[in-house]
Chain A
Amino acid sequence: MASIGIIANPASGKDIRRLVSHATVVDNNEKVNILKRIILAAQTHGIMDFYIMPDTYQMGYAVIDSLETRRELKANIHVMDMSITGSMRDTKRAAEEMEALGVGCIIVLGGDGTSRAAAKGIKETPLLPISTGTNNVYPQMIEGTIAGIAAAMVAKMDIPHASCMRDKRIEVYKNGELADIALIDAVLSSSAVVGAKAIWDVDEMDMLFTTRCHPASIGFSSIAGYMRIVRPEEDLGVMLDLKSETHRVLAPIAAGVITELTVGEPKEIALNQTVEMKMDSNGVVALDGEREIIFREGDVLGFKITREGPYRVKVSETLERALEEGIFSK
């Protein structure tokens, strides 16, 4: 029987970017609402088992309580039995366990960082990311009800990847070892601390690597996106020197923050090509907008764009396919 996994990041939508930009605030009660909409939609389409990541706000139980009180819950909701660390590790581990359970689709609520954490835990399971975070290039602003229907369709498909896109990712190596990944962008920064995690000060940014860029995106990938377009389908990435002064570009680096930067010429990076550089000072690599990897003077960093990212559900195509197959008319 097809099942769906749901990961809702209780920490998304409330970091320091509410102060340094005008980012959306998403409280956890709204995330509970979205979870309810997903479950009600998917159970109508025959999904009877939902696995939900446990979290410090206990969103899974809030959903059960609400839907049972209203006598709307027909499916089984399993809040997974795992210890909580209150960190990104919970998302990765929940995704790993959901894949081991064989769920047909994992829906993730959060920003780019949450999708990144989930992507680290899975290999094959289709991922459907919904935006409840800050700078969202990867997750879509999509109504939970529609996401629930699409996830149900994917979970029930004979070929689950039929309406998915295998995404690119940036693999970041430190002294030859894979240190971490990013789905959209990696920024080399001279910031000395991880601090409040989010990164916003362009003066501290030295280099940008991105898997895709488009002027309709927000965040650091948009710096390249206002110079050229690289689509998710294209087998290449881009690197951009943010310290060079060859070009001037106006880019929306955060919600409501359009900044003029001087940058170099965007350089293409072929798939599976590694760009290596030896660091001449200490700093931090920000992955999908969050400071994550601390490096020291003398460390050698490698950036490689591969097509080893998650299988992302293309919502519209999934629903179009289901329509063509007559699923909604039965």
Chain B
Amino acid sequence: MKVKNNVIINMYLRMKRIREFETKAMNLFAEGSIPGFVHLYLGEEAVATGVCANLDDKDYITSTHRGHGHIIAKGGSLNEMMAELFGKEAGYCKGKGGSMHIADATKGILGANGIVGAGHNIAVGAGLSAQYQKSGQVCVCFFGDASTNQGTFHEALNLASIWKLPIVFVCENNLYGISMSQTRHQAIKDIADRGVAYNVPGVAVDGNDVFAVYEAADEAIKRARDGQGPTLIECKTYRHRGHFEGDAGAYKPKEEQEFWMQKDPLPRIEKYMIDNKVVTPEELEKLKAQVMGEIDEAIKFANESPYPELASAVQDIYSDIVEEGRVR
């Protein structure tokens, strides 16, 4: 497959944004600047990027508790994300949702989600709406390996298949469900195999190679737009950090970590870009500097935003309809 240079550079920028955003979030969390929980996407950048590079703003994604990467890859605002992590009023959820509830309807981002497996069925709803309205939209559902043991995964694949919904199910198999190795939580190795039970084509790809993900997603999204129904893509990847910040990840063998660090997606795409003269080394440094500038700007934006007013703590909890009903 030929991938245009501007697409490659765009994918690199997205991956680098995720890498630097997450690295900064890691450090800020350690310093105590970020309240709540953060689950970092470090190491998995190629998955969200390779998939979302094939999508438009009007296409939907559903995300997970480890959602920063999906949101950045889909074009979410770094400023509003960082402000949300800081609990500031200028954040995506006015500072009241934190890391796991970021959504952006203008970008088709249907929300990060603290409940494992909750995105599957939201994706089916989004896919059904796209099909019903003949809008040409596609919904990509991101989820982890362990969530495929939830009933929602099976219900979603079944419905999506029987109704031929325009959905791409993208499994980020990072080998662990929290701290439990995949070998201990399911009696299969390839989650792609689970598609067969629902007559959904399942393919497994190297999730740390952005081009492999891009190609598979390209084909799957074409199928979805063409009315051929859902696809299951399993991306084999690895999270560099623990399940959440604070989890030292002692259950991950050292050799395994070293093996996967050699497959780190960022150096791979950088090497490709240099080797294939997509950019010169100087241009690559400029791209890196551009991203670092964006991250610094996001932190500045977050720092300068006020905390939400105390009175707003009970606002946005219930819809206005309910509030109005109570008044009546």
From known contacts A19-B231, A20-B219, A196-B212, infer whether A191 and B1 are also in contact, taking CB-CB under 8 Å: yes
Secondary structure call for the A interface: loop
From known contacts A14-B202, A14-B204, A19-B223, infer whether A193 and B211 are also in contact, taking CB-CB under 8 Å: yes
Can you list, as one digit per residue, whether each of B255-276 has a CB less than 8 Å from chain A (1) or not (0)? Answer: 1000100000000000010011
Query: In the complex, what's the smallest C-beta–C-beta distance from A206 to chain B, in angstroms?
Result: 13
CA of A40 to CA of B3, assembled, Å? 49
Residues of B within 8 A of A25 (CB): 193, 196, 202
From known contacts A16-B205, A27-B196, infer whether A195 and B189 are also in contact, taking CB-CB under 8 Å: no
Q: How many A-B residue pairs have CB under 8 A?
A: 84
Question: Nearest residue in A to B278 (C-beta to C-beta)?
Answer: A192
Is B105 located at the chain interface by the 8 A CB criterion? no
CA of A192 to CA of B215, assembled, Å? 12
From known contacts A27-B196, A193-B272, A282-B276, infer whether A19 and B201 are also in contact, taking CB-CB under 8 Å: yes
* Other-chain residue from B189, B214, B275 in contact with A56 (beta carbon distance below 8 A): B189
CA of A56 to CA of B190, assembled, Å? 10
Is A28 located at the chain interface by the 8 A CB criterion? yes
Whether the Cβ atoms of A16 and B188 lie closer than 8 Å is no
CA of A191 to CA of B209, assembled, Å? 15
From known contacts A11-B204, A28-B189, A195-B211, infer whether A19 and B3 are also in contact, taking CB-CB under 8 Å: no
Residues of A within 8 A of B220 (CB): 19
From known contacts A25-B196, A57-B189, infer whether A14 and B3 are also in contact, taking CB-CB under 8 Å: no
Query: In the complex, what's the smallest C-beta–C-beta distance from B78 to chain A, in angstroms?
Result: 28
CA of A77 to CA of B97, assembled, Å? 55
Q: Which of B266-291 contact A (CB under 8 A)?
A: 272, 275-276
Q: Which of B175-225 contact A (CB under 8 A)?
A: 183, 188-190, 192-193, 196, 201-206, 209, 211-212, 214-216, 219-220, 223
Is B254 located at the chain interface by the 8 A CB criterion? no
Can you list, as one digit per residue, whether each of A177-198 has a CB less than 8 Å from chain B (1) or not (0)? Answer: 0000000000000111111110
Whether the Cβ atoms of B1 and A16 lie closer than 8 Å is no
Question: Nearest residue in A to B192 (C-beta to C-beta)?
Answer: A14
Is B134 located at the chain interface by the 8 A CB criterion? no
CA of A28 to CA of B236, assembled, Å? 16
Residues of B within 8 A of A193 (CB): 1, 3, 211, 215, 272
Is B328 located at the chain interface by the 8 A CB criterion? no
Is B2 located at the chain interface by the 8 A CB criterion? yes
Is A29 located at the chain interface by the 8 A CB criterion? yes
Residues of A within 8 A of B223 (CB): 19
Is A204 located at the chain interface by the 8 A CB criterion? yes
Query: In the complex, what's the smallest C-beta–C-beta distance from B214 to chain A, in angstroms?
Result: 7
- The 16 listed contacts between A and B (C-beta, < 8 Å) are A14-B202, A14-B204, A18-B201, A18-B203, A19-B219, A20-B219, A25-B202, A28-B188, A86-B236, A192-B1, A192-B276, A193-B1, A193-B3, A193-B272, A196-B212, A196-B215
Q: When A and B form their complex, which 7 residue pairs have the shortest distance between CB atoms, in order from nearest?
A: A57-B189, A195-B211, A193-B211, A27-B193, A196-B215, A19-B219, A195-B215
- Seen from chain B, the residues whose Cβ lies within 8 Å of a Cβ on chain A are 1-3, 183, 188-190, 192-193, 196, 201-206, 209, 211-212, 214-216, 219-220, 223, 231, 236, 255, 259, 272, 275-276
**A190-B2, A196-B211, A204-B2 known, 16 other contacts, Cβ within 8 Å:** A11-B190, A20-B219, A27-B196, A29-B193, A56-B189, A57-B189, A57-B190, A58-B183, A83-B255, A194-B211, A194-B212, A195-B211, A196-B205, A196-B206, A196-B216, A197-B212
- Seen from chain A, the residues whose Cβ lies within 8 Å of a Cβ on chain B are 10-11, 14-16, 18-20, 25, 27-29, 56-58, 83, 85-86, 190-197, 201, 204, 282, 296
